[in-house]
């Protein structure tokens, strides 16, 4: 196919978030290239706050498609990352907490150090050790990354188009296309499929999600709030966010209380803030 946006022609890294969108992008790459080319690596950066279903889904993609996914986690030593797998991956926010303690403040909508450090930096630190990326820098590796952003995500696409490749957007793929693909697949992400997307995706209670969505997720599984409440109660000397992830709304402790009381206090039409962790 002429000008196939999924054709690999140079060293490339597929940024695999573990969601349906990035998995569909990976599947299209496999179809266009007759498998995974030697100059293409698939990397999942684990924060420790992904849903267990996400980790199961990545493992399923590996086994069903016969591919290698590199699971990486950010660590703060000379190496800067460590390789894990399904069995050894963090599941209680350990990399995320290490970042908070290292920086001595909570990430927030203005300072999204979780994305830059736990996703982008962890990935680039790993890739710098691989032969096909030898000599490349943090910024050039970022430009070699393929990110799963759909045609219906115009705002996200506009913000990242000059930093990474977005083949789904180029090919005009929408959430409806992705939803239909996974409904017909022999395996799927075990989270609700709302036309190819789910409110459960990325970090389980990411502070960029609408408050009403977070309360709904806590109501569904109250233990989801425990880690986030504990982070807001850490003794940090530098607290630009006021010891909370967001100053413009209730804390996670308050949202957990609202969820327990089934109190409807948040705008159900509030939009999520665009992030680049992927879907």
CA distance 76 to 98: 8
Give residue-wise pLDDT tens across range 16-53: 999 999 999 999 999 999 999 999 999 999 999 999 99
pLDDT confidence of 2, banded at 50, 70, 90? low
Residue 161: the pLDDT is: 82
Q: How far is CA 134 from CA 116, 125, 140, 165, 221, in A?
A: 21, 11, 11, 20, 44
Residue 238: the pLDDT is: 55
CA distance 193 to 130: 35
- Is 8 within 8 Å of 33 (Cβ atoms)? yes
All residues at 6 or more sequence positions from 182 whose CB lies less than 8 Å from its CB, including other chains: 20, 24, 188, 189, 193, 196
Residue 74: the pLDDT is: 98
Give residue-wise pLDDT tens across range 48-60: 999 999 999 999 9
Residue 189 in this model has a pLDDT that exceeds 60 = yes
Residue 76 in this model has a pLDDT that exceeds 60 = yes
pLDDT confidence of 141, banded at 50, 70, 90? confident
List Cβ<8 Å contacts ≥24 apart for 2-10.
Answer: 4/32, 5/167, 5/170, 5/171, 6/31, 6/32, 6/33, 6/167, 6/171, 7/32, 7/33, 8/32, 8/33, 8/37, 8/39, 8/40, 10/39, 10/144
CA distance 195 to 178: 7
Residue 278: the pLDDT is: 56
**pTM of the predicted protein model:** 0.90
CA 200 from centre of chain: 11
Residue 121: the pLDDT is: 93
Percentage of the chain with pLDDT > 90? 73
Nearest to 148 by CA among 126, 181, 117: 181
CA distance 155 to 14: 21
CA distance 77 to 250: 35
| Structure-token pair, residue 146 | 């393929």
Give residue-wise pLDDT tens across range 214-230: 999 999 999 999 999 99
All residues at 6 or more sequence positions from 47 whose CB lies less than 8 Å from its CB, including other chains: 73, 90, 93, 95, 96, 114, 118, 119, 203
Nearest to 82 by CA among 45, 134, 40: 45
Give residue-wise pLDDT tens across range 196-210: 778 887 789 999 999
Q: Which domains does the chain have, with CATH numbers?
A: 12-183 (3.40.50.620)
Place of tokens 């990486």: 72
All residues at 6 or more sequence positions from 77 whose CB lies less than 8 Å from its CB, including other chains: none
Sheet (strand 12-15) strand order: 81-84, 69-74, 40-45, 12-15, 145-146
Residue 163 in this model has a pLDDT that exceeds 90 = no
| Structure-token pair, residue 107 | 């990430």
Alpha helices in the chain (DSSP H): 20-33, 52-65, 94-103, 113, 122-127, 138-143, 154-160, 167-170, 175-183, 211-220, 225-232, 252-261
């Amino acid at each position: 196919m002429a000008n196939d946006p999924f054709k690999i022609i140079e060293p490339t890294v597929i940024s695999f978030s573990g969601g349906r969108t990035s998995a569909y992008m990976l599947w299209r790459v496999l179809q266009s290239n007759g498998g995974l080319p030697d100059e293409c690596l698939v990397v999942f950066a684990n924060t420790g706050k992904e849903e267990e279903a996400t980790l199961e889904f990545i493992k399923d993609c590996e086994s069903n498609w016969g591919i290698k996914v590199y699971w990486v986690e950010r660590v703060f030593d000379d190496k800067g990352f460590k390789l894990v797998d399904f069995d050894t991956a963090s599941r209680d926010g350990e990399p995320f907490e290490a970042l908070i303690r290292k920086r001595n403040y909570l990430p927030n909508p203005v300072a999204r150090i979780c994305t830059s450090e736990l996703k982008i930096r962890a990935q680039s630190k790993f890739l710098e050790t691989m032969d096909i990326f030898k000599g490349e820098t943090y910024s050039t590796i970022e430009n070699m990354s393929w990110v799963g952003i759909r045609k219906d995500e115009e705002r996200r696409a506009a913000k990242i188009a000059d930093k990474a490749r977005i083949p789904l957007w180029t090919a005009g793929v929408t959430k409806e296309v992705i939803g239909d693909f996974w409904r017909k697949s022999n395996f799927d992400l075990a989270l609700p499929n709302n036309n190819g997307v789910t409110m459960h995706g990325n970090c389980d209670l990411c502070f960029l999600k609408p408050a009403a969505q977070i309360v709904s997720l806590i109501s569904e599984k109250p233990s989801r709030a425990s880690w986030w409440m504990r982070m807001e109660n850490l003794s940090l000397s530098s607290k630009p966010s006021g010891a909370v992830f967001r100053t413009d709304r209730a804390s996670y402790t308050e949202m957990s209380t609202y969820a327990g009381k089934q109190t409807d206090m948040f705008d159900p039409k509030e939009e999520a803030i665009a992030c680049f962790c992927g879907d």
